[in-house]
């Protein structure tokens, strides 16, 4: 087996073919026919293909013992060794506000409890809501489907899917959050590494671990001010200011309360009321990271290897992967877009512009502010043109 002190290496198909051809000539003479159309040649090539497949399977098994190389269920099993489970797909949650007939109860388990957006993202009311004497009320709702599509903007859930004469209007004053797909291998792998550095707790690393464990959390930055003076950001003494991208607000507030040290106050515009182990309530404050939408226009020339069916989607995915690798305050390096795009098979020539504003596209790097993170907000924000 190709295992030595440098690790496990898989011989390529041409290497195996050369070895078996040489061996055949040693056994049967130099004039034996081993070309692709001969009986022996076809047999050799069949065996080589089977051996390459077997070697690749053995290599995958070998690498599945290591967090940085394992994938799928093998990575799940390694994560379980560190008590870190892969985050499942989750449905977004949101608080809905209603107006209607005073005293009317919107039952969560009957007709009239389904609401949605203009583009058909549906939300199911979780609890009964009784409108007060002024005809106002609010209640929690959850997206019918799991995934990030449920993370809709504020004031977009305005459609009564099942009409009721007793309900005049519905809306969501705050964005929905917490909707995620099944956690990818890359983000799961990062959380496993983070758990090795610190368990959830009151240390800075412990707080990062606790927050990254929440479904949907993509980035976290913590600004500590442990002095007796207000810092340069305006944070008061003995405080922690959390900036978080993604996740459900209630879950984030509870995670902060569960792990923060006593005597430390939290700072931010978002307020969540969470309970301690004794069921006492506490106000927890934090801020959402500012997500900067990035626009990219791309013109490419391709070879025959380029697949027009999924090539543009692969380019979009490559750009998203690059942006997701950045942290708050990073610089978006323009030339790295070329690197990401050229990794797509069949791309021979690329011309790119990018910007924070569609009206101001260019070739300059983009410096994010300390609490900003970059993302492609809509797939249509990346325009790919295939040139003849």
**Confidence (pLDDT) at 375:** 83
Q: Using CB atoms within 10 A of its CB, is residue 264 exposed (0-12), middle (13-18) or buried (19+)?
A: middle
| pLDDT at residue 335 greater than cutoff 60 | yes
**Confidence (pLDDT) at 388:** 64
Tokens of 307: 């697949």
Of 52 and 1, the one with more pLDDT:
52
Give yes or no for a contact between 139 and 132, defined as CB atoms under 8 angstroms apart: no
d(CA 364, CA 213): 35
d(CA 39, CA 48): 14
* Average pLDDT value for residue range 262-267: 90
d(CA 153, CA 150): 9
Q: What is the DSSP letter of 6?
A: T
All structural domains of the chain with their residue ranges: 3-63, 93-171, 198-288, 291-386
Of 163 and 260, the one with more pLDDT:
260
Q: What is the DSSP letter of 370?
A: T
| pLDDT at residue 157 greater than cutoff 90 | yes
Indicate the pLDDT class of residue 374, thresholds 50, 70 and 90: confident
**Confidence (pLDDT) at 320:** 86
d(CA 270, CA 88): 26
β-strand pairing of 239-245 with 265-267: parallel
d(CA 40, CA 51): 16
pTM as predicted: 0.59
Q: Using CB atoms within 10 A of its CB, is residue 248 exposed (0-12), middle (13-18) or buried (19+)?
A: buried
**Confidence (pLDDT) at 307:** 84
Q: Using CB atoms within 10 A of its CB, is residue 305 exposed (0-12), middle (13-18) or buried (19+)?
A: exposed
Of 112 and 36, the one with more pLDDT:
36
| pLDDT at residue 1 greater than cutoff 60 | no
| pLDDT at residue 3 greater than cutoff 90 | no
Residue found under tokens 């983070």: 194
Q: Where are the alpha helices (DSSP H) in the chain?
A: 13-28, 39-63, 72-81, 185-197, 204-212, 249-259, 311-324, 334-342
Percent of the chain with pLDDT over 70: 97
Tokens of 76: 């799940």
Among the ranges given (75-84, 89-98, 149-158), the one the predictor scored with the smallest mean pLDDT:
75-84
C-alpha pair distances (Å), 58 with each of 16, 52, 77, 241, 285: 16, 10, 18, 48, 50
**Confidence (pLDDT) at 125:** 93
Q: Phi first, then psi: what are they for 330, rounded to 5°?
A: -70, 170
**Confidence (pLDDT) at 2:** 66
| pLDDT at residue 171 greater than cutoff 70 | yes
């Amino acid at each position: 087996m190709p295992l030595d002190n440098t690790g496990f290496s898989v011989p390529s198909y041409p290497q195996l073919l050369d070895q078996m051809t040489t061996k055949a000539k040693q056994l049967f003479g130099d004039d034996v026919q081993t070309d692709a159309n001969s009986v022996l040649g076809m047999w050799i090539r069949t065996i080589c293909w089977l051996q390459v497949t077997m070697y690749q399977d053995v290599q995958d098994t070998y690498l599945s013992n290591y967090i940085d190389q394992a994938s799928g269920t093998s990575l799940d099993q390694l994560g379980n060794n560190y008590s870190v489970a892969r985050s499942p797909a989750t449905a977004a949650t949101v608080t809905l506000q209603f107006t209607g007939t005073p005293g009317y109860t919107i039952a969560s388990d009957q007709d009239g409890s389904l609401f949605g957006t203009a583009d058909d993202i549906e939300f199911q009311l979780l609890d009964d809501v009784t409108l007060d004497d002024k005809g106002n009320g609010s209640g929690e709702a959850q997206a019918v489907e799991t995934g990030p599509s449920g993370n809709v903007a504020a004031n977009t859930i305005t459609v009564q899917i099942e009409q009721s004469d007793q309900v005049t209007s519905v809306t969501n004053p705050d964005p929905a959050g917490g909707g995620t797909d099944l956690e990818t291998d890359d983000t799961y792998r990062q959380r496993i590494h983070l758990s090795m550095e610190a368990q959830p707790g009151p240390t800075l690393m412990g707080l990062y671990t606790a927050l990254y464990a929440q479904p949907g959390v993509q980035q976290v930055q913590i600004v500590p001010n442990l002095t007796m003076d207000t810092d340069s950001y305006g944070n008061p003494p003995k405080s922690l200011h959390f900036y978080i991208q993604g996740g459900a607000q209630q879950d984030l507030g509870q995670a902060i309360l569960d792990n923060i040290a006593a005597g430390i106050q939290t700072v931010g515009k978002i307020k969540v009321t969470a309970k301690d182990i004794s069921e006492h309530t506490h106000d927890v404050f934090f801020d959402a990271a500012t997500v900067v939408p990035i626009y990219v226009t791309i013109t490419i020339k391709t070879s025959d290897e380029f697949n027009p069916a999924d090539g543009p989607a692969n380019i979009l995915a490559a750009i998203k992967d690059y942006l997701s690798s950045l942290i708050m305050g990073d610089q978006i390096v323009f030339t790295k877009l070329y690197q990401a795009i050229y990794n797509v098979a069949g791309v021979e020539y690329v011309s790119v512009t990018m910007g924070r504003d569609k009206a101001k596209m260019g070739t300059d790097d983009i410096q994010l502010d300390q609490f900003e993170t970059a993302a492609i907000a809509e797939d249509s924000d990346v325009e790919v043109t295939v040139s003849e």
